[in-house]
Amino acid sequence: MRVRVGQGFDVHPFIDDPDRPLVLGGVVFDSPRALAGHSDADVIAHACADALLGAAGLGDIGMLFPDTDPRWSGANSIDLLAEVARRVRSAGWEPGNVDASVVTDHPKMAPARVQMQERLSAAVEAPVSVKGRRPEGLGALGRGEGVACWAVAVVTRP
Ligand code: MG
Protein backbone atom coordinates (compact mmCIF):
# COMPACT_ATOMS: atom_id res chain seq x y z
CA MET A 1 0.00 0.00 0.00
CA ARG A 2 1.20 3.50 -0.86
CA VAL A 3 0.63 6.22 1.73
CA ARG A 4 0.95 9.95 1.23
CA VAL A 5 0.51 12.87 3.58
CA GLY A 6 -0.65 16.39 2.80
CA GLN A 7 -0.69 19.61 4.77
CA GLY A 8 -3.13 22.50 4.44
CA PHE A 9 -3.29 25.99 5.88
CA ASP A 10 -5.84 28.75 5.57
CA VAL A 11 -6.56 32.09 7.19
CA HIS A 12 -9.43 34.56 6.77
CA PRO A 13 -9.89 37.99 8.40
CA PHE A 14 -12.95 38.96 10.43
CA ILE A 15 -15.27 41.62 9.08
CA ASP A 16 -18.16 43.30 10.84
CA ASP A 17 -21.08 42.34 8.63
CA PRO A 18 -24.22 41.35 10.54
CA ASP A 19 -25.77 39.97 7.35
CA ARG A 20 -22.94 37.54 6.64
CA PRO A 21 -23.00 34.18 8.47
CA LEU A 22 -19.93 32.90 10.33
CA VAL A 23 -19.32 29.38 9.02
CA LEU A 24 -16.65 27.08 10.45
CA GLY A 25 -16.43 23.37 9.76
CA GLY A 26 -19.77 23.56 7.96
CA VAL A 27 -21.51 24.88 11.08
CA VAL A 28 -23.12 28.33 11.20
CA PHE A 29 -22.21 30.13 14.44
CA ASP A 30 -24.34 32.77 16.10
CA SER A 31 -21.91 35.70 15.89
CA PRO A 32 -21.96 39.44 15.11
CA ARG A 33 -18.72 38.95 13.18
CA ALA A 34 -18.10 36.90 10.06
CA LEU A 35 -15.05 35.95 8.04
CA ALA A 36 -14.32 37.76 4.79
CA GLY A 37 -13.82 35.70 1.66
CA HIS A 38 -15.07 34.94 -1.82
CA SER A 39 -16.78 31.72 -0.72
CA ASP A 40 -18.37 31.32 2.72
CA ALA A 41 -14.78 31.65 4.07
CA ASP A 42 -14.90 28.39 6.03
CA VAL A 43 -11.20 28.20 6.97
CA ILE A 44 -11.51 24.71 8.43
CA ALA A 45 -13.07 23.22 5.30
CA HIS A 46 -10.48 25.03 3.16
CA ALA A 47 -7.50 23.79 5.19
CA CYS A 48 -8.88 20.23 5.07
CA ALA A 49 -9.38 20.50 1.29
CA ASP A 50 -5.82 21.76 0.76
CA ALA A 51 -4.42 18.95 2.92
CA LEU A 52 -6.26 16.35 0.82
CA LEU A 53 -5.23 17.96 -2.46
CA GLY A 54 -1.63 18.17 -1.30
CA ALA A 55 -1.63 14.52 -0.27
CA ALA A 56 -2.96 13.47 -3.68
CA GLY A 57 -0.62 15.83 -5.56
CA LEU A 58 -3.56 17.72 -7.07
CA GLY A 59 -2.50 21.29 -6.31
CA ASP A 60 -4.64 23.51 -4.07
CA ILE A 61 -8.17 24.86 -3.84
CA GLY A 62 -7.08 28.18 -5.35
CA MET A 63 -6.36 26.25 -8.56
CA LEU A 64 -9.61 24.22 -8.45
CA PHE A 65 -11.98 26.97 -7.34
CA PRO A 66 -10.37 30.31 -8.31
CA ASP A 67 -11.70 33.34 -6.42
CA THR A 68 -11.93 35.15 -9.75
CA ASP A 69 -14.64 32.68 -10.86
CA PRO A 70 -18.17 33.91 -10.07
CA ARG A 71 -19.32 30.27 -9.80
CA TRP A 72 -17.64 30.06 -6.38
CA SER A 73 -18.92 33.37 -5.02
CA GLY A 74 -20.61 32.58 -1.70
CA ALA A 75 -19.91 28.88 -2.29
CA ASN A 76 -20.72 26.38 0.44
CA SER A 77 -17.25 25.14 1.37
CA ILE A 78 -18.59 21.79 2.55
CA ASP A 79 -19.64 21.22 -1.07
CA LEU A 80 -16.16 22.27 -2.23
CA LEU A 81 -14.61 19.83 0.26
CA ALA A 82 -16.86 17.01 -1.00
CA GLU A 83 -15.81 17.85 -4.57
CA VAL A 84 -12.15 17.74 -3.50
CA ALA A 85 -12.69 14.28 -1.96
CA ARG A 86 -14.29 13.12 -5.23
CA ARG A 87 -11.30 14.37 -7.20
CA VAL A 88 -8.87 12.70 -4.81
CA ARG A 89 -10.71 9.39 -5.28
CA SER A 90 -10.84 9.93 -9.07
CA ALA A 91 -7.05 10.24 -8.98
CA GLY A 92 -6.88 6.80 -7.35
CA TRP A 93 -6.30 7.87 -3.74
CA GLU A 94 -8.50 6.96 -0.77
CA PRO A 95 -8.70 9.58 2.00
CA GLY A 96 -7.63 7.96 5.29
CA ASN A 97 -8.29 10.78 7.74
CA VAL A 98 -7.88 14.52 8.16
CA ASP A 99 -6.89 16.26 11.39
CA ALA A 100 -7.35 20.02 11.78
CA SER A 101 -6.21 22.58 14.36
CA VAL A 102 -8.12 25.86 14.29
CA VAL A 103 -6.62 28.83 16.12
CA THR A 104 -8.98 31.50 17.44
CA ASP A 105 -10.59 32.83 20.62
CA HIS A 106 -13.90 33.50 18.87
CA PRO A 107 -16.17 31.70 18.49
CA LYS A 108 -15.75 28.96 21.08
CA MET A 109 -15.00 25.75 19.21
CA ALA A 110 -15.83 23.14 21.83
CA PRO A 111 -19.66 23.38 21.78
CA ALA A 112 -19.73 22.81 18.00
CA ARG A 113 -16.83 20.39 17.74
CA VAL A 114 -18.86 17.20 17.32
CA GLN A 115 -21.17 18.81 14.77
CA MET A 116 -18.23 20.23 12.78
CA GLN A 117 -16.52 16.84 12.75
CA GLU A 118 -19.73 15.17 11.56
CA ARG A 119 -20.23 17.63 8.68
CA LEU A 120 -16.59 17.55 7.58
CA SER A 121 -16.43 13.75 7.85
CA ALA A 122 -19.63 13.40 5.81
CA ALA A 123 -18.12 15.60 3.07
CA VAL A 124 -14.83 13.68 2.93
CA GLU A 125 -16.44 10.28 3.64
CA ALA A 126 -13.56 9.62 6.03
CA PRO A 127 -12.88 10.70 9.62
CA VAL A 128 -12.12 14.39 10.12
CA SER A 129 -11.11 15.61 13.59
CA VAL A 130 -11.09 19.26 14.70
CA LYS A 131 -9.10 20.68 17.60
CA GLY A 132 -9.57 24.23 18.84
CA ARG A 133 -6.48 26.13 20.08
CA ARG A 134 -6.42 29.58 21.62
CA PRO A 135 -3.85 32.06 20.29
CA GLU A 136 -2.91 33.18 23.84
CA GLY A 137 -3.03 36.85 22.90
CA LEU A 138 -0.24 36.58 20.36
CA GLY A 139 -0.21 38.51 17.10
CA ALA A 140 -3.10 39.09 14.71
CA LEU A 141 -4.92 35.93 15.83
CA GLY A 142 -4.54 36.96 19.45
CA ARG A 143 -6.05 40.36 18.63
CA GLY A 144 -9.04 38.58 17.11
CA GLU A 145 -8.36 39.85 13.59
CA GLY A 146 -9.15 36.51 11.96
CA VAL A 147 -9.12 32.74 12.19
CA ALA A 148 -6.36 30.38 11.03
CA CYS A 149 -6.49 26.62 10.52
CA TRP A 150 -3.88 23.96 9.87
CA ALA A 151 -4.80 20.47 8.68
CA VAL A 152 -3.02 17.24 7.85
CA ALA A 153 -4.45 14.49 5.64
CA VAL A 154 -3.42 10.98 4.81
CA VAL A 155 -4.38 9.25 1.58
CA THR A 156 -3.68 5.66 0.57
CA ARG A 157 -3.56 3.61 -2.61
CA PRO A 158 -3.62 -0.21 -2.63
MG1 MG B 1 -9.89 30.06 2.30
91 CA distance to ligand 1 centroid (A)? 23
Q: What is the rounded end-to-end Cα distance, in angstroms, of the chain?
A: 4
Which long-range CB contacts under 8 A does 13-16 form with residues at least 24 apart?
A: 13/145, 13/146, 14/144, 14/145, 14/146, 14/147
* Burial degree of 128 (CB within 10 A; 0-12, 13-18, 19+): buried
46 CA distance to ligand 1 centroid (A)? 5
Share of the chain above pLDDT 70, in %: 100
Question: Which pLDDT tens digit goes with each residue over 31-72?
Answer: 989 999 988 999 999 999 999 999 999 999 999 988 888 887
The whole-model pTM stands at: 0.96
1 CA distance to ligand 1 centroid (A)? 32
Phi then psi dihedrals of residue 56, to 5 deg? -90, 0
49 CA distance to ligand 1 centroid (A)? 10
45 CA distance to ligand 1 centroid (A)? 8
User: Residue 116: enclosing H or E segment and its boundaries?
Assistant: helix 113-124
Neighbours of ion ligand 1 (CB under 5 A): 10, 46
pLDDT score, position 49: 98
158 CA distance to ligand 1 centroid (A)? 31
Rounded Cα distance, 52 and 66, in Å: 17
Question: Which pLDDT tens digit goes with each residue over 96-116?
Answer: 999 999 999 999 999 999 999
